[in-house]
Amino acid sequence: MSEANAAAPGLKLSPCPPVEHGADGRVPLKLRRVAIDTWRENVAYLHRDCDLYRAEGFQALNKVEVRANGRKVLATLNVTLDPRIVKCDEIGLSMEAFAQLGVEPGHPATIEQAEPPVSIAALHRKIAGERLTREEFHAIARDIAEHRYSKIELSAFVVATHASELDREEVYFLTEGMIAAGQRLDWRERLVVDKHCIGGIPGNRTSMLVVPIVAAHGLVCPKTSSRAITSPAGTADTMEVLAEVELPIERLQEIVRAHRACLAWGGTAQLSPADDVLIAVERPLSLDSPAQMVASILSKKVAAGSNHLVLDIPVGPTAKVRSMPEAQRLRRLFEYVARRLGISIDVVITDGRQPIGQGIGPVLEARDVMRVLQNHPLAPIDLRQKALRLAGRLLECDPDIRGGDGYGIARDILDSGRALEKMMALIEAQGARGFDPERAPLARHRFEVTAPRDGVVTGIDNLQIARIARLAGAPKVAGAGVDLMRKLGEPVRAGDVLYHVYAEYPADVEFAREASARASGYTIGAPHEVPQVYVEF
């Protein structure tokens, strides 16, 4: 909400009383928690008729510094005419910003103009296409983590690093700077492993299988994951169906020490906080440059204390990476930066032609994961096989396991029930939510999308299937999403169900139905038309 030129119809305005300066010359205002979710952006609200606003020359969308209780928060200023949002003697803060000060509503606070970021000159140089030094990237990452950049400045940095591609040393400098701007965990273990996928494949919940498998073997695997931003579910969203994922850092550390693993949301740990800020800008712009991808992933892994990583790069016509040459270039960049950071990395190129598993959306994906762990007859074979192969590669980081033996060990851990036992222990430790995969709490409304003619499935559009699941309400509505009935190469007859769509609200049903009617995401053709992709497994 930015400054308005006139009052809303029917809004009664009263003049603001003059404000009194404190002994230190600053004007104390009462803090107010404004119930607006501003998605990782700190926002402050002042009334336009507040004497302070007029006297100090504040301007809407400028950066300000709010102080209270010995703490401070940097925020973007919004100006309002509506006293129902903030009164003339109040300073409002968005929910996340308010929580950072740790005070009750009504607590006195002061506001002043924020100093410009010290790295602003370096930002201008990068916009001009110049190469930056290590010190300049560190300064930029620090200012981003401290919320000193406005959304416009953040967007300029993201676009500049996308348009004038960073060289590999600059990517290393940026990654190093992002690590230095947050805290870094130390597990005091010789071997700390992790697995990550670059994303873009719906239903690809292999992490929730890999983690309990490798932890059951005894390896330390502190998995901190993100929530979905533009996808139907992230690992944290799906795990949240089973257990709590927003864990204080102290509790997260206790769980890892007791159980050798965790499956938690990384936002509470302040690991590479600059990355969290950048992601909120990159995703709406649909920009995911190799440089930003490498810096984002590796900074989070190093900050989480991992020193061995298996990285999944899916390749397919509607995946993030569309060709093998592109995948190989990205692999080499990951390997260079990882080597400079002292991480052992195993980059695996996988099949990204279609979604992995059957369900797309938090509840549906949690159902698939638990069925695989339970060795259920309806467990998705592709999800099981991919998870076993990735877990096998990660197990082979253990010097006591010979190369090539990891897959068999992973399979034995899964088939014996040890992986399920470990997962149940993690769920209990993190705070179980009582999920039953056979009575999954799916959204109330359902409709089917059917095959228009006889043939075989020759294509599944990852992007369109993900879009339909999101329009149905996922991930905000955990039980919403898409349940796939057919995969690539499978024969269909006209009228056969390709997938079910679940939605909680009638409006979401219509949004998803209209999108699937325009483009179902499925292509039906002849067997020889199924696209081939050359991957490592």
- DSSP code for 490: -
Tell me how far apart the alpha carbons of residues 401 and 397 are, in angstroms, rounded to a whole number. 8
Peptide linkage before 475 cis (omega within 30 of 0) = yes
3-state helix, strand, coil in the chain (%, to 5): 40, 20, 40
Find, among 393, 158, 164, 194, the residue nearest to 293 by Cα: 158
- DSSP code for 398: S
* Type of residue at 367: R
**Active-site annotation, residues:** 288
- DSSP code for 220: B
Q: Going by C-beta distance under 8 Å and a sequence separation of 6 or more, which residues neighbour residue 494?
A: 450, 451, 452, 453, 454
Tell me how far apart the alpha carbons of residues 335 and 344 are, in angstroms, rounded to a whole number. 8
Over the range 393-407, which residues count as b (16 or more CB within 10 Å of their CB) and which as e?
bbbbbbeeeeeeebb
Three-class secondary structure of residue 522 per DSSP: strand
Element (H, E) at 373: helix 362-373
